Amino acid sequence: MSPVVRGLTMLYLTTILLGFAHGMLPPIIPVLEDTFGVSGGMAAQVVTAFTMGRLIGQPLGGTLIDKFGTRPAVLGGPVVIGISVSVGIVTQWFWPLLVGLFIAGAADSMWMLGREVAGVDLVKPNQRGRLMSGFMGFHGVGMGLGAWLGGTVGEEMGIRAVFAIYTGIAAFVFLVSVLIPSAERPPAAPEAAAPTGGSRLERLRNLYLQIDPRLRTTYLVLVFATASMMLYRMAYQAILPLRMDEIGLDPSDIGTLFLVVSFGSLVMIVPAGFVVDKIGRKWATVPSTAIPGIAFLLIPFTGDFGPLIAIAVLMGFANGLSLGSVATSTYDVAPDAVRARLQAARRTVAEVGAITGPLLGGFLAVQFGAGIAFFVYAPVLLIAGALLMFVARETLVKRPATAAA
């Protein structure tokens, strides 16, 4: 087996495994209420803690990877994740669980960025869409399968068993990651690198100025689109279980619904990669934000399991189209010398959406009911779709069929 094939196989395997592990958490949110004696809105903050950790981990991971390569993130991430989530096995209080998941989120974001850059180094630029589609698709499939198991295990055996499984998976991912070949690229020339002095805001501005002036607005739109996507994904994970609990569905039903969404992502892995690499990035990014916006408008009107299954199919299709399309567009825009930091900057700003989703959604769910949160978030997604369609540039460079006369 060639180093490229072996590396991609290990990267995809670890992606689906950690996706599976994280996917076990959302369905047990109602169980956390009973275990720790907290409200539903507070229980949903396990998702907030994890995403706040990701917010911290992004800039750290970007700097680490641009300076030292992918190996420290790919190997160190699973170790920290495993140690952090093991808190859930033993703690009798809710706050240590939140701390553990915060640390796990930071490690997970560094690992995901390292995995991504390692994969980009292994493939050609015209294969990036399929690479990223595979990463996001397998992660989604893993989360769906994990949601199904998490809901069942949490209901039958309690949350301790769920966190024990999560810890074991993280340990196995570390062992598998040792087999991933090092994909570090040579250090960039000094003149190509972004300045590192000055305040944090100044460093961020310097990073932004490395982008081709014609593509800077596109980068900003991609940041906003990522924030909207993170908002809907985290809100869907954290608030949908509360909505389903309101209409009398149990954790196993919640797990089934997430499984349907993940199945849609699985079906779309190959088509989404083809669309992104062959037709155009915007053909994937626009519907992947507009369709969830429409779905969020429909969720408050559902009162039983059947309509939610139909919406889950729609969400699965949209989620499949979103598989790595924005990340691929960002790699098109970002110069190689600062690619990890620009990706990390995009995701750091975008994590505002991931944090806002469950945090504001939990408040709205407690005060007005879970359905209201979906009404509030829908316009954000629709605006992102409009900006991607009418403001952002198409970043796929197609080779002309014939030379100009």
Q: How far apart are CA 385 and CA 292, in angstroms?
A: 10
Q: How far apart are CA 197 and CA 292, in angstroms?
A: 41
Q: In this predicted structure, what is the pLDDT of residue 16? A: 92
- Write the CA distances from 71 to 67, 68, 110, integer angstroms: 11, 8, 11
Q: In this predicted structure, what is the pLDDT of residue 405? A: 33
CA dihedral 288, 314, 30, 82 (to 10 degrees): -50
Q: How far apart are CA 360 and CA 364, in angstroms?
A: 6
Tell me if residue 100 falls in helix, strand or coil. helix
Query: Is the CB of residue 241 less than 8 Å from the CB of residue 147?
Result: no
Percent of the chain with pLDDT over 90: 22
Using pLDDT thresholds of 50, 70 and 90, give the confidence band for residue 404. Answer: very low
Over residues 333-381, the pLDDT tens digits come to: 888 778 888 888 888 877 777 777 777 888 888 888 888 888 888 999 9
Q: How far apart are CA 341 and CA 333, in angstroms?
A: 13
Number of C-alpha atoms within 13 angstroms, CB side, residue 97? 24
* Neighbouring residues of 122: CB distance < 8 A, sequence distance ≥ 6: 4, 7, 8, 131, 183
Mean pLDDT of 74-88: 92
Lowest-confidence pick of 283-287, 291-295, 323-327, 344-348: 323-327
Q: Exposed, middle or buried: residue 27 (CB in 10 Å: 0-12, 13-18, 19+)? A: buried
Over residues 207-223, the pLDDT tens digits come to: 888 898 999 999 999 99
Mean pLDDT of 139-159: 81
Q: Which one-letter DSSP state was computed for residue 69?
A: -
How many degrees, rounded to 5, is the angle at CA 89 between CA 107 and CA 76?
20
Q: Exposed, middle or buried: residue 301 (CB in 10 Å: 0-12, 13-18, 19+)? A: exposed
Pull the structure tokens for residue 256. Answer: 């089934």
Over residues 17-61, the pLDDT tens digits come to: 999 998 888 888 888 887 887 777 788 788 888 878 887 888 888
Over residues 181-196, the pLDDT tens digits come to: 665 554 453 444 445 5
Task: Find the DSSP H helices in 195-250.
Answer: 200-209, 216-246
CATH fold for the domain made of 3-179+201-390: Growth Hormone; Chain: A; (1.20.1250)
Pull the structure tokens for residue 127. Answer: 């294969």
Number of C-alpha atoms within 13 angstroms, CB side, residue 342? 29
Query: Is the CB of residue 323 less than 8 Å from the CB of residue 271?
Result: no
Query: Is the CB of residue 80 less than 8 Å from the CB of residue 27?
Result: no
Percent of the chain with pLDDT over 70: 92
Query: Is the CB of residue 28 less than 8 Å from the CB of residue 147?
Result: no
* Higher-confidence position of 174 and 144: 174
Query: Is the CB of residue 351 less than 8 Å from the CB of residue 293?
Result: no
Over residues 237-272, the pLDDT tens digits come to: 778 888 887 887 777 777 788 778 877 777 887 788
Q: Where are the domains of the chain?
A: 3-179+201-390
